[in-house]
Structure 1
Amino acid sequence: MTTAQTYAEFAAREARGVSPAYERLSLAVSGDDKVLALLDTLPPAKRQPNLLFGVVRFLGGPVEDPAAFHHYTVTNWPRIEAQMRVRATQTNEAGRCAVLLPVLATLPQPLALLEVGASAGLCLYPDRYAYRYGDQTIGAGEPVLDCEATGSVPPATLPDVVWRGGLDLNPLDVTAPADVAWLDALIWPEHAHRRARLRAAAAVAAADPPLLRRGDLVNDLPALVAQAPADATLVVFHTSVLYQVPAPRRATFTELVGRLPGHWVSNEAPGVLPYDDLPEPPDGAHHNVLALDGRPLAWTRGHGQALHWFA
C-alpha cells in the first residue's frame, strides 16, 4: 500500500465519524505530493497518520486546517522528521479496558496482568476504573469508561488484580510532564472526553505505579513473566501493538506467548493476527479482533468505544 493509500484509508475507515479534523487532514495528505514525498523518506513504519499528526500537535502545530498543516509541515520538516524517527504511536487509551473487561472477568481470579506495548501502563488498571455499558454501570470512581456492547452480557464484577507489569520499547512515566504531553498529543483533536480520561487514569497509575520494563516483546518477555506471582492467573495482553512489529518477529512472539502459562488476550486488527472464518464486521469502520488464547471472540473499536461479541 502506498503512503497516499494509507492516508486515504485512514480517513475512510478510522477517522470518519470519529474525528472530522483528522478525516480532512488525512484526505488532504493523501493528495499532497510534497508532504507525501517527505513522508516517503522515512521507514514505512514511521509514515503512519497517527504518528505524523501526533508529532505536529506535540510541537504545537495546526491540525484543524489542511492548508495551515501543509505549510507548517513543509516549513518545519526537520523538527518533525527528527521526532517521528524517535517516537512511536503509544496511544495509552484506558477506554480499551472496557472491551478487555468481559474477558478478564471470566478468567480464574486473582489475575497477574502483563501488557506488551504498555506505554505508561494505563490499561493495567481494569479493576480500578468504572464502566458504563448502556444503562448498566460497573465499579465506581473515575474515569468512567463508556462502551456500546452488543451480543454479550456485561460482567457483573470487576477482576481481582494482584500484580501488574508492562513491557515497552520506550515506557512512559505518568509523573513526567513531557511523557504526559506526548500521550495528550496522540489524542485526536475533538476528543476532550479522552483528555479528561487520560488525566483521571494517569492519577490512578501515579498513585500505585505498575512495574514497567524497557524491552523487546520476544527477548525480554520471559524474564518479566518470571516476576509474576505463581499463585495468580497470568494474563499476557496487548491492543493495537503488533502492527508495529515486522511479520517474522510477530510470528515468533505468538509462538512464544502460546507456550507461556496462563492466558493470552489479543486485540489487534484482523490483518495483523489473521483468523479463519471471521464474521463480517458490523460496519465499514476499522475494527480490531478481540481474542482469547488465539480464539476470536468479538469485534472492537480502537478506543474501546464499542464491543460486538460474536463468539
Structure 2
Amino acid sequence: MSATSTDPTTELADVLVALADGNFRGYSPTYERIARAWAEDPDLLTTTLELRPEGMPVSMLPISLLAVVHELVLREPDLALAAIYRGEEQDPWPAFRDLVTARAPEIRTRLANCSIQTNEVGRSAALIPSLAWITEQLPGRDLALVEIGPSAGLNLLADHFFIEYRNPGGTALATGDPSSPVRLQCDLKGDTTPPLPAGPLPIVARTGIDLDPIDVHDPDATRWLEACLWPGVTDRQERLRRAIELVRHAPHPPRLHAGDVLDLLDPVIEDLPPGAVPVVFSTWALAYLTRQRRQEVHDRVAAHGTGRDIVLLTAEYPHVIPWVPAARRPHVEEGTDATLVGVAWWRDGHARSAPLAWTHAHGAWLDWIGGEGSS
C-alpha cells in the first residue's frame, strides 16, 4: 500500500481506497463502506490529518483512527454507531463521520497515546504448518519460540488451538486439541496439503518482546485488542475472547518482555533453554519497523546462527522480508492482498531461506508452497 502523491490529502485518500480494495472488500463491508466514503469527503480528510499525531505516517492513520473510534463504540454501547457495528443494517458512514467530528479532541488525544495491537489468532493457521515444516527440517530438536510483537502473546499458544483446514473439494484436515475453546477454520487454496504435526510440537519455551505488551487480566487493555479488530467479522471477535480466556488460565502462560526488540532480542535468545532451537517469529510486526531496523533484526538472528541452529519465521508483505526468495502465487489472484510466510534458518553454521506459503492477513485462507525457490 503506497501513495502516489506527496500531497497528504491525496495520499490519505489513496490509502483509504487501497484499504477498501485490498483489505476490506469481501471481508469487512462496514469498513469498506466507511473507507470509500471517507476517501471522497474533503472535509473529513482535512479533519483526519489535523488529528494525526506528530510522526505518524499517513499510511497508518486510517487503521489507527478506525481502532480508536471502535474503542469508543465498545466503551459506549448506546452510541448510534455501536448498533451498526453490532450488526444493525444501516449505512455506517453518517454515524462514523458524526462521531469523528463530535469527538475530535478526544480522538486526537487517544491517537497520540496508542499503537495498533492486532493480536489476530487466526494467523496461527499459517503458524502451525510452518512450525511442523521446521520440525521436519530439524528432527528430534526442541523448539523455543520468541515472538516479535506478541501483543498479549496469544499466538504463542497456537498449538493449544483446534484448527480445521478445508480443501477446495470440501474435505477437511484438523490439528490441535479437539477440546480447545479456540477453534479456527482456514480454507486451503490449490492441491498442496500443508504439513501438520503428527503429535505435540516439541515447544519448550514461549516468550515474546513487545514495546507495550498486553496484560490479559486488564479489561481496558483487552478492550483495546478488540477495538483493533474490524466490526462485522464476528468470528474474529469470538476467537479473540476465547484465546484471551485460554491464556488467562494457562498453567504456563507465555513470558512477555516489555521493550525494544533490538535491545532485548540478544539477551532473550541467550536465556533460552540450552539445546533448544530458537524460532524467532513475527506475524505482521516487522512491517511496523523501518527497513533498516527490519534488516537489523535479521542480522541479529544471523549472528546467533554462527554458533547455534536458529530460525527466523515471518509472515509479512514480501517487500518487508527481502531475505526470503521470491515466490510464485499459484492460486492467489494477482492484486489480492496476500501475506508471504517465509523462513530463514541457520543449521551447522550454514544459512538457508525459503518461502513457505501465501496466506490471508488474518488466516482465512492458506496457499502452501512448501519451500519452492529456497536458497
TM-score (norm 1): 0.94
Q: Deviations over 1:95-144 (max 9, x none)?
A: 11110111101323421111001100001012211110111121222211
Greater relative contact order (CA < 8 Å, ≥ 6 in sequence): 1
Instruction: Provide, for residues 244-275 of structure 1, a one-character-per-residue CA deviation record: whole Å limited to 9, x for no partner.
Output: 11222222222222223410100001232245
Query: Of residues 14, 17, 37 in structure 2, which corresponds to 1:28?
Result: 37
Distance in 2, matches of 1:12 and 1:247, equals: 25
Q: Which residue of 1 aligns with 2:315?
A: 267
Letter in 2 for 1:227: D
Matches within 5 A, 1:161-172: 161-172=203-214
CA-based RMSD: 1.8
Partner of 1:120: 152
Q: Which moved more, 1:237-246 or 1:60-69?
A: 60-69
Q: Per-residue displacement from partner, 1:146-177 (whole Å, max 9, x unpaired)? A: 11123233414342221110111110011110
Q: Is the 8 A contact 1:6 1:48 kept in 2?
A: no
Residue number among 27, 40, 64 corresponding to 2:49 in the alignment: 40
Residue 279 (structure 2) aligns with? 235
Superposed CA offset, 1:179-226 (max 9, x none): 110111112111221111112111221123211111112122112112
Alignment of 1:138 with 2:165, yes or no, is no
Residue 16 of structure 2 corresponds to which residue in structure 1?
7
1:191 has 2:233 as partner: yes
Partner of 1:149: 188
Match of 1:244 in 2: 288
Given the superposition, is the C-alpha separation of residues 277 and 104 from structure 1 closer, same or farther in structure 2, using an over 3 Å criterion? closer
Does the C-alpha gap of structure 1 residues 243 and 37 become closer, same or farther in structure 2, counting only changes over 3 Å? farther
Distance 2:37 2:120 in 1: 26
Q: Is the partner of 1:103 in helix, strand or coil?
A: helix
Structure 1 SS opposite 2:293: helix
Does structure 2 retain, via aligned residues, the 8 Å contact 1:3–1:47? no
Residue pair 2:284, 2:315 contacting (<8 A) in 1 also: yes
Find the residue that maps to 1:142 and give its secondary structure: coil
Are residues 1:103 and 2:130 paired? Answer: yes
Match for residue 101 of structure 2? 74
Structure 1 residues 242 and 217: CA distance shift in structure 2, 3 A: same
Give SS of 1:166's match: strand
Shift of 1:46: 7.2
Distance, in Å, in 1 between the alignment partners of 2:103 and 2:94 is 14
User: In structure 1, what residue type is equivalent to 2:269?
Assistant: V
Structure 2 residue corresponding to 1:278, chosen from 327, 330, 335: 327
For the pair 1:173 / 2:232, whether they are aligned, the reply is no
Report whether the alignment pairs 1:129 with 2:161.
Answer: yes
* Greater shift in the superposed pair: 193-202 or 13-22: 193-202
Q: Deviations over 1:28-85 (max 9, x none)?
A: 1212222222333422167433221111010126366111111111221111121122
Question: CA separation in 2, counterparts of 1:297 and 1:32?
Answer: 41
Contact 1:29 1:35 in 2 (8 A): yes
**Which position in structure 2 is the counterpart of 1:295?**
354
Q: Would the aligned equivalents of 1:39 and 1:47 in 2 still touch at CA under 8 Å?
A: no
CA–CA separation in structure 2 for the residues paired with 1:286 and 1:259: 33
Q: How does 1:73-92 map to 2 (within 5 A)?
A: 73-92=100-119
Distance 2:209 2:59 in 1: 21
Q: For residue 249 of structure 1, give the secondary structure of its aligned residue in structure 2.
A: helix
Letter in 2 for 1:124: L
C-alpha distance in 2 between matches for 1:206 and 1:169 = 20
TM-score by length of structure 2 reads 0.78
More deviation, 151-160/96-105: 151-160
For residue 57 of structure 1, what is the aligned residue in structure 2? 70
Distance 1:46 1:16, change over 3 A: closer
1:94 is matched with which residue: 121, 133, 140?
121
Contact 1:46 1:84 in 2 (8 A): no
| Bigger Rg, structure 1 or 2 | 2
Matched to 1:88, the amino acid is S
CA apart distance, 1:276 = 5.2
